[in-house]
């Protein structure tokens, strides 16, 4: 029985000698250090070092008399203290691991996400972690899947700007409607999402291929900057189109089709990423 108790105490951060000394004091106390060594089997050369360590930790008490006497704290108090200590360590570990997620190693990783639902799930996670600003280019049907998440982010003070393909309305975000969504969907062969939060976190990919949808998520600075700036650049274009559409379409065709064709590499003028 005592051997199993010693093993249990070792799981509670006791050494074997400390466990033997504590159990000896539970059986009979107060005792001198000599008596603890004699009754527990702990070497006399070690006993006072062991007992002083346990006093410092609060597992036993000492009476500073001519000959010091030792007594244990009650077992239920010991367990209460160990439980509180363990819970405190768990809280510290949770905080440390959250910070660890922001280390250089993670910032330099690029994660491949496969499947529409998996991409949307990661997008929700990114939205939930945003603190200052969200920029996102998204189609109407995909926006509906994350609208409630964006609303919650806005509720905690995050500024949200959406480049929307299709009919998207919002009372919590600034919406820039991309009125060429049908042409672009046909031209590119699908829908995509481009997301940036706090200039530190980006997600981008094709989301209209069901289980074959592909996206990448990263905090890599070499990608966060250009992807974020792509969204901002599109916002520039939409602002300019809003004020000077007739002039621009007179030069480049309806919805700037001449520009899109100028930089196409396929004879059908379509993008063949998919």
**3-state class (DSSP) for residue 88:** helix
- Cα 140 to Cα 137: distance, rounded to the nearest angstrom: 10
CATH topology for the 110-262 domain = Endonuclease; Chain A (3.30.870)
The per-residue pLDDT for range 195-221, each reduced to its tens digit, is: 999 999 999 999 999 999 999 999 998
Domain limits, the chain: 2-97, 110-262
For 2-97, CATH gives 1.10.10.10
Per-residue pLDDT at 78: 92
pLDDT of residue 192 exceeding 80: yes
2-97 and 110-262 share one fold: no
Task: Give CA 97 to chain center in angstroms.
Answer: 9
For 102-138, what is each residue's pLDDT tens digit? Answer: 555 566 788 999 999 999 999 999 999 999 999 999 9
Q: What is the pLDDT of residues 10-59, one digit of tens each?
A: 988 899 999 999 999 999 989 999 999 999 999 999 999 999 999 999 99
Give the list of residues 6+ apart from residue 105 with CB closer than 8 angstroms, or none: none
Rounded Cα–Cα distance for residues 21 and 41 (Å): 8
| Cα gap 134→153, rounded to integer Å | 9
The pLDDT of residue 271 is 66
Among 84, 101, 75, 117, which Cα is nearest to 207's?
Answer: 117
Average pLDDT, whole number, for the chain?
89
Query: What pLDDT sits at residue 267?
Result: 83
Q: What is the pLDDT of residues 233-253, one digit of tens each?
A: 999 999 998 899 999 989 998
Most confident of 105-114, 168-177, 178-187: 168-177
Contact call for residues 150 and 173 (beta carbons, < 8 A)? yes
Three-state DSSP at 161 gives strand
**Residue 65 pLDDT:** 78
């Amino acid at each position: 029985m005592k051997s199993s108790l010693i093993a249990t105490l070792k799981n509670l951060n006791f050494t074997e000698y400390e466990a033997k000394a504590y159990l000896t004091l539970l059986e009979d106390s107060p005792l001198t250090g000599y008596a603890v060594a004699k009754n527990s089997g702990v070497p006399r050369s070690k006993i006072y070092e062991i007992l002083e360590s346990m006093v410092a930790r609060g597992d036993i008490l000492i009476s500073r008399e001519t000959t010091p006497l030792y007594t244990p704290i009650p077992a239920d108090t010991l367990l209460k203290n160990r439980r509180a200590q363990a819970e405190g360590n768990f809280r510290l570990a949770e905080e440390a691991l959250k910070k660890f997620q922001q280390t250089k190693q993670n910032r330099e990783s690029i994660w491949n996400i496969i499947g529409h639902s998996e991409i949307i799930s990661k997008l929700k996670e990114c939205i939930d972690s945003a603190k200052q600003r969200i920029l996102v280019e998204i189609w109407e049907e995909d926006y509906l899947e994350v609208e409630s998440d964006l609303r919650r982010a806005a509720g905690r003070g995050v500024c949200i700007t959406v480049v929307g393909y299709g009919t998207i309305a919002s009372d919590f975000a600034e919406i820039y409607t991309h009125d060429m969504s049908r042409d672009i969907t046909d031209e590119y062969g699908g829908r995509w999402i481009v997301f940036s939060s706090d200039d530190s976190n980006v997600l981008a990919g094709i989301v209209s291929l069901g289980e074959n949808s592909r996206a990448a998520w990263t905090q890599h600075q070499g990608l966060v900057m250009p992807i974020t700036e792509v969204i901002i650049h599109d916002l520039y274009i939409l602002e300019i189109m809003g004020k000077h559409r007739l002039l621009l379409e007179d030069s480049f065709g309806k919805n700037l089709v001449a520009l899109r064709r100028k930089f196409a590499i396929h004879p059908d003028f379509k993008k063949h990423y998919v």
